[in-house]
Amino acid sequence: MFRSTISLTTRRQLAASIARHPTALPSVSLLTRSFSATRAFRDDTDDTVAKTSLHTLTEDEQMMREMVSRFAVDVVQPKVSEMDEAEKMDPAIIKGLFDNGLMGVETPAEFSGAEASFLSAILVIEELARIDPSISVLCDVHNTLVNTVFRHYASDHLKQKYLPLLATEKLGCFCLSEAGSGSDAFALQTRAELKGDHYVINGSKMWITNSGEADIFLVFATVDPSKGYKGITCFVVERDMGVTIAKKEKKLGIRASSTCQLSFDDMRVPVENVVGEVGKGYKIAIEILNEGRIGIAAQMLGLAQGAFDTAMPYMFQRKQFGSFIGDFQAMQHQYAQIAVEIEAARLLTYNAARLKEEGKPFIKEAAMAKLYASQVAERASSKAVEWMGGVGFTRDVPAEKFYRDCKIGAIYEGTSNIQLQTIAKLLAKDYRE
């Protein structure tokens, strides 16, 4: 309706100004245009906050990063190749994660956790992935999905019962996907029927990370298929309530991380094990995966850095045609390019994490970070293999493993298409009239 009030000259001026300022996007109405000019910026000024770069960490975040980096190099690295070949996680490493407090990063101290920041968890995941993306995803799922569901949605009873166990000894997993419901997660079929003081759960799950070693399962099931997604409910299930591993997948990458199909056959779960409200499981899943993506971004970022750090020293050891291969301009431009991309992925990831910590909207930024970090991981690890020539193609160096491991980043916790869709949807909302 504003459109009709704008004279032809105004329109011409507008068109000219839009051409000069391509960021002031193609809205024709005067009112919308003045809004859209500000839309490029977030409304989050805060004069009380010290100006810092995204590389500025708090002292404890810095100490944690150094500690995890040492743990990864001293304890994890010697086992990486063996675990990958055997497609099995070493229980001693899982125990090491628990003993050093890496499995309850954000868990409050009263529940035996470290009570550290979300960015701390992100740094832990990144540092582990530099050495082994498999151990990294184990820690990621446990912290950013399982612990967070308990912290945000569980009753005090469930928190008291499970958070200390999850921080000190019992591994958790997050069971949403099924054979028929992947990207379309809410088409899930697993049924939960109320029988007195118990729910009886029947159905099966697919692709469940950590399920090979886990004791605590967050299971999404519907209490009433006729209600569609509004029937979906989240349950805490212990392994001995009746979780059966139907099959362990053999995979391209992150082979030490267990991914299994699960089946539930008349599994009885007490009513008090419902997390949050009955029928609100879909909301839990959406919200958790929104922030969980920042964890996957961190895993992919660490992977990219790990691949880069593997190949770079070789550049200045290997000579061909009388010079170090790293001194050929064609190589220089490639590693400079990858370094820029890794830095960009890091900034996207840390920024999404800080936005979340500050309680600001972060969904778009999280999706951007996950999408881009997984793309950078793929390019960096691919280049790392190439830069090391034949050596890079062998299993004697970890470059080929990073290359195999990177591919999962474009699939789990929302495929790349789904990330793009999320980003697009949020963008369109800003610009659509």
Partner 1 sequence: MSSGLRILVGVKRVVDSAVKVRVNSTQTGVETANVKHSMNPFDEIAVEEAIRLREKQKGNDKIQEIIALSCGPAKAQETLRTALAMGADRAIHVKTDEMLEPLSVAKLFSRIISEEKPNLVILGKQAIDDDSNQTGQMLAGLLNWPQATFASKVDIKDNSSLEVVREVDGGLETVTSSLPAIVTTDLRLNEPRYASLPNIMKAKKKPLKTISPADLGVDIKARLQTIKVTEPPKRQGGTVVDSVDELLNKLRNEAKVL
Ligand X SMILES: Cc1cc2nc3c(=O)[nH]c(=O)nc-3n(C[C@H](O)[C@H](O)[C@H](O)COP(=O)(O)OP(=O)(O)OC[C@H]3O[C@@H](n4cnc5c(N)ncnc54)[C@H](O)[C@@H]3O)c2cc1C
Identify what 60 binds: ligand X, partner 1, none; CB under 5 to 8 Å per kind.
partner 1
Size of the site for ligand X (CB under 6 A): 20
Identify what 281 binds: partner 1, ligand X, none; CB under 5 to 8 Å per kind.
none
| 88 is an interface residue for ligand X by CB under 6 A | no
| 112 is an interface residue for partner 1 by CB under 8 A | yes
Phi-psi category of 175—alpha, beta or left, where left has phi over 0 and alpha has psi -120 to 50? beta
Identify what 63 binds: partner 1, ligand X, none; CB under 5 to 8 Å per kind.
partner 1
| 286 is an interface residue for ligand X by CB under 6 A | no
Residues 408-427 that bind ligand X (CB under 6 A): 408, 411-413, 415, 417-418
Nearest to 367 by CA among 403, 410, 430, 305: 410
Distance of CA 416 to the CA centre of its chain: 12
| 174 is an interface residue for ligand X by CB under 6 A | yes
Q: Alpha-carbon distance 335 to 316, whole Å?
A: 13
Q: Between 210 and 305, whose beta carbon lies closer to ligand X?
A: 210
| 384 is an interface residue for ligand X by CB under 6 A | no
Scanning 49-57, 205-213, 221-229, 383-391 for contacts with ligand X by CB under 6 A, the matching segment is: 205-213
Distances (CA, A) of 412 to 119, 177, 234, 359: 21, 10, 19, 25
Q: Alpha-carbon distance 409 to 397, whole Å?
A: 21
Scanning 95-103, 285-293, 320-328, 358-366 for contacts with partner 1 by CB under 8 A, the matching segment is: 95-103
Helix or strand holding residue 426 (H, E) = helix 416-431
Helix 8-20 crosses helix 30-39 at what angle (to 10 degrees)? 20
| 66 is an interface residue for partner 1 by CB under 8 A | yes
For 404, the token pair is 């195999």
| 349 is an interface residue for partner 1 by CB under 8 A | no
| 148 is an interface residue for partner 1 by CB under 8 A | no
Q: Which of 24, 93, 116, 384 binds partner 1 (CB under 8 A)?
A: 116
DSSP readout, 251-307?
A: -SS-TTS-EEEEEEEEEEEEGGGEESSTT-HHHHHHHHHHHHHHHHHHHHHHHHHHH
Helix (H, G, I), strand (E, B) or coil at 401: helix
Minimum gap (Å) between residue 59 Cβ and partner 1: 6
Is 413 a catalytic site residue? yes
| 136 is an interface residue for partner 1 by CB under 8 A | no
Identify what 253 binds: partner 1, ligand X, none; CB under 5 to 8 Å per kind.
none
Residue 263 β-bridge partners: 204, 244
| 120 is an interface residue for partner 1 by CB under 8 A | yes
Q: Alpha-carbon distance 255 to 92, whole Å?
A: 17
Residues marked as catalytic: 413
Binding site for ligand X (CB under 6 A): 141, 173-177, 182-183, 207-209, 251, 259, 408, 411-413, 415, 417-418
